[in-house]
């Protein structure tokens, strides 16, 4: 524990998705800005903040375990994040926690920190770099553009945890992006709950960036980010019609030709039960059009199988869609009844063994598609961004791979490279998810 008058130290445990990581970064930045030190061990910290995830049952368990561990090892614990929004769950399991806040609550967390660990006198001891404190490696960074969501997908409880959409001012987002680029970031990953809704809450208000007006809107933001000279990757793009507008930016090389667009299903009845938009014929026609405009376009999507009431025919319709759409990257999940989700009350839940069987069939089909698509890259030259380097070579990603969720490009003759380098490789081999290449 800290000696009297020493600089107070805060331990930090960050769990959950990239959006939670950004929340953690904001809190860490505030702590450092006020002069607190960040401790990497429980024993050395004066108190511990645990940023939790409450999305699915296994995440709830992991979060509760992490809180328990922090209490046992340190004793003074503040809980924030998505599980924090379910305050009772935390308090019931761990009545000794100092406070529980919801997600996106840097102000509240700081207030509790001030109560239990008063601010140090000299805030100039630890000046924060302009780009803030980041938990992702220095060559890529997540850029959160909004919080919350106006949709009410029946399988999801995020709106009840995080509230309706609140877009960050476009000037602030651009300033953060510029700071990150100035600090050496090579790739910006734009995230939110619903990236294509950016600005809806402020009626696409016109803000300012670099002395020029800029609308709070996805297309305009993507175009402005595209001017910063680094890779810009769009995540969690809800399939609104105006998504079509960003495809030309991709074709022009302004932003990466990569679209992470969760379709969730292809059958009209299931989509309606999920309260999701879309009709698979329209979606297929749009995908075709997008690929005509931008031939390199890589599509990532996620799907839920075994949604309540899903029949074998409806599931097969989804398989047909996947076969036809030839998506590059697919994440699929068996429906899991998240506490509080409306879909739990729907009739005819699909038995777990049927869900697992459908999930395996879908993934098997997608693996075949992915393998075939990656084979076509052999012999091509690609620019890749280096993520890790050791004596065996380098591991990098191309525009087609988002960090942590997509594939990788292994470069055998790359052990002299540096993390964050962008290099050209010629692709020599492939498997289901990854590529191998040699430096050009």
149 binds ligand SF4 (CB under 6 A): yes
327 binds ligand SF4 (CB under 6 A): no
Mark the segment that binds ligand SF4 (CB under 6 A) among 92-100, 152-160, 363-371, 412-420. 152-160
138 binds ligand SF4 (CB under 6 A): no
Instruction: Considering the complex, state which of residue 132 and residue 148 has its C-beta at the smaller distance from ligand SF4.
Output: 148
- Residue 132 tokens, joined: 């803030």
Residues 277-316 contacting ligand SF4, CB under 6 A: none
Q: What binding mask, one character per residue, do residues 217-256 give for ligand SF4 by CB under 6 A, x or -?
A: ---------------------x------------------
Mark the segment that binds ligand SF4 (CB under 6 A) among 60-68, 103-111, 156-164, 402-410. 156-164
Instruction: Considering the complex, state which of residue 197 and residue 374 has its C-beta at the smaller distance from ligand SF4.
Output: 197
By CB neighbour count within 10 A (0-12 exposed, 13-18 middle, 19+ buried), where does 337 fall? middle
Q: Least CB distance from residue 191 to ligand SF4, whole Å?
A: 12
* HEC readout, the chain: CCCCCCCCEEEEEECCCHHHHHHHHHHHHHHHHCCCEEECCCCCCCEEEEEECCCCHHHHHHHHHHHHHHHHHCCCEEEEEHHHHCHHHHHHHCCCCCEECCCCCHHHHHHHHHHHCCCCCCCCCCCCCCCCCCCCCCCEEEEECEECCCCCCCCCCHHHHHCCCEECCHHHHHHHHHHHHHCCCCEEEEECCCHHHCCHHHCCCEEEECCEEEECCHHHHHHHHHHHCCEEEECCCCCCHHHHHHHHHHHCCCCCCEEECCCECCCHHHHHHHCCCCCHHHHHHHHHHHHHHCCCCEEEEEEEECCCCCCHHHHHHHHHHHHHHCCCEEEEEECCCCCCCHHHHCCCCCCHHHHHHHHHHHHHHHHHHHHHHHHCCCCCEEEEEEEEEECCEEEEECCCCCCCCCCCEEECCCCCCCCCCEEEEEEEEECCCCEEEEEC
156 binds ligand SF4 (CB under 6 A): yes
By CB neighbour count within 10 A (0-12 exposed, 13-18 middle, 19+ buried), where does 2 fall? middle
Instruction: Considering the complex, state which of residue 236 and residue 258 has its C-beta at the smaller distance from ligand SF4.
Output: 236
Instruction: Considering the complex, state which of residue 194 and residue 317 has its C-beta at the smaller distance from ligand SF4.
Output: 194
Residue 142 near residue 22, CB atoms below 8 Å: yes
Instruction: Considering the complex, state which of residue 238 and residue 410 has its C-beta at the smaller distance from ligand SF4.
Output: 238
From candidates 68, 87, 123, 159, binder to ligand SF4 by CB under 6 A: 159
Q: What binding mask, one character per residue, do residues 12-51 give for ligand SF4 by CB under 6 A, x or -?
A: ----------------------------------------
Mark the segment that binds ligand SF4 (CB under 6 A) among 5-13, 28-36, 134-142, 145-153. 145-153
- Residue 329 tokens, joined: 């990257």
Q: Which of 436, 381, 392, 385 is nearest to 414 (CA)?
A: 392
338 binds ligand SF4 (CB under 6 A): no
170 binds ligand SF4 (CB under 6 A): no
Residue 268 near residue 307, CB atoms below 8 Å: no
From candidates 37, 66, 78, 158, binder to ligand SF4 by CB under 6 A: 158
Instruction: Considering the complex, state which of residue 151 and residue 254 has its C-beta at the smaller distance from ligand SF4.
Output: 151
From candidates 51, 193, 195, 301, binder to ligand SF4 by CB under 6 A: 193
153 binds ligand SF4 (CB under 6 A): yes
Instruction: Considering the complex, state which of residue 36 and residue 303 has its C-beta at the smaller distance from ligand SF4.
Output: 303
Spatial distance between the Cα atoms of 165 and 148, rounded to a whole number of angstroms: 4
140 binds ligand SF4 (CB under 6 A): no
Mark the segment that binds ligand SF4 (CB under 6 A) among 95-103, 148-156, 282-290, 388-396. 148-156
Instruction: Considering the complex, state which of residue 158 and residue 224 has its C-beta at the smaller distance from ligand SF4.
Output: 158
Q: How many residues bind ligand SF4 (CB under 6 A)?
A: 10
151 binds ligand SF4 (CB under 6 A): yes
- Residues forming the site for ligand SF4 (CB under 6 A): 149, 151-153, 156, 158-159, 193-194, 238
């Amino acid at each position: 524990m800290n000696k009297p008058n020493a600089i107070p130290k805060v331990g930090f445990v960050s769990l959950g998705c990239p959006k939670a990581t950004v929340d953690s970064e904001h809190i860490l930045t505030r702590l450092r800005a006020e002069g607190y030190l960040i401790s990497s061990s429980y024993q050395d910290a004066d108190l511990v903040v645990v940023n939790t995830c409450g999305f699915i049952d296994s995440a709830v368990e992991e979060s509760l375990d992490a809180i328990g561990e922090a209490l046992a090892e340190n004793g003074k614990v503040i809980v924030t994040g998505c599980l924090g929004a379910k305050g009772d769950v935390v308090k019931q399991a761990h009545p000794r926690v100092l406070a529980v806040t919801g997600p996106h609550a840097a102000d509240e967390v700081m207030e509790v920190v001030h109560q239990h660990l008063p601010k140090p006198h000299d805030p100039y001891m630890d000046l924060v770099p302009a780009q803030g404190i980041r938990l992702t490696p220095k060559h890529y960074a997540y850029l959160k553009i909004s919080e919350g969501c106006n949709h009410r997908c029946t399988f999801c409880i995020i709106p009840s945890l995080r509230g309706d959409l609140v877009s960050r001012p476009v000037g602030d987002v651009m300033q953060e992006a510029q700071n990150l680029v100035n600090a050496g970031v090579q790739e910006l990953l734009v995230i939110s709950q619903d990236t294509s809704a950016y600005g809806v809450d402020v009626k696409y208000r016109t803000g300012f960036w670099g002395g020029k007006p800029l609308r709070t809107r996805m297309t305009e933001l993507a175009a402005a980010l595209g001017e910063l000279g680094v890779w810009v990757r769009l995540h969690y793009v809800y399939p609104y019609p105006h998504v079509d507008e960003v495809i030309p930016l991709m074709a022009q090389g302004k932003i990466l030709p990569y679209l992470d667009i969760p379709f969730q299903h292809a059958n009209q009845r299931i989509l309606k039960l999920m309260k999701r938009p879309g009709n698979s014929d329209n979606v297929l026609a749009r995908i075709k059009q997008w690929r005509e405009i931008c031939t390199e376009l890589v599509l990532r999507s996620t799907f839920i199988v075994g949604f309540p009431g899903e029949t074998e025919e409806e599931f097969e319709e989804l398989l047909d869609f996947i076969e036809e759409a030839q998506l590059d990257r697919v994440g699929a999940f068996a429906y899991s009844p998240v506490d509080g989700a409306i879909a739990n009350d729907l009739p005819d839940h699909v038995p777990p063994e049927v869900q697992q069987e459908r999930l395996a069939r879908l993934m098997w089909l997608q693996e075949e598609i992915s393998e075939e698509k990656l084979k076509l890259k052999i012999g091509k030259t690609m620019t890749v961004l280096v993520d890790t380097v050791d004596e065996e070579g380098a591991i990098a990603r191309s525009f087609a791979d988002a960090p942590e969720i997509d594939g990788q490009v292994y470069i055998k003759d790359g052990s002299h490279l540096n993390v964050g380098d962008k290099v050209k490789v010629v692709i020599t081999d492939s498997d289901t998810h990854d590529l191998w290449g040699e430096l050009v």
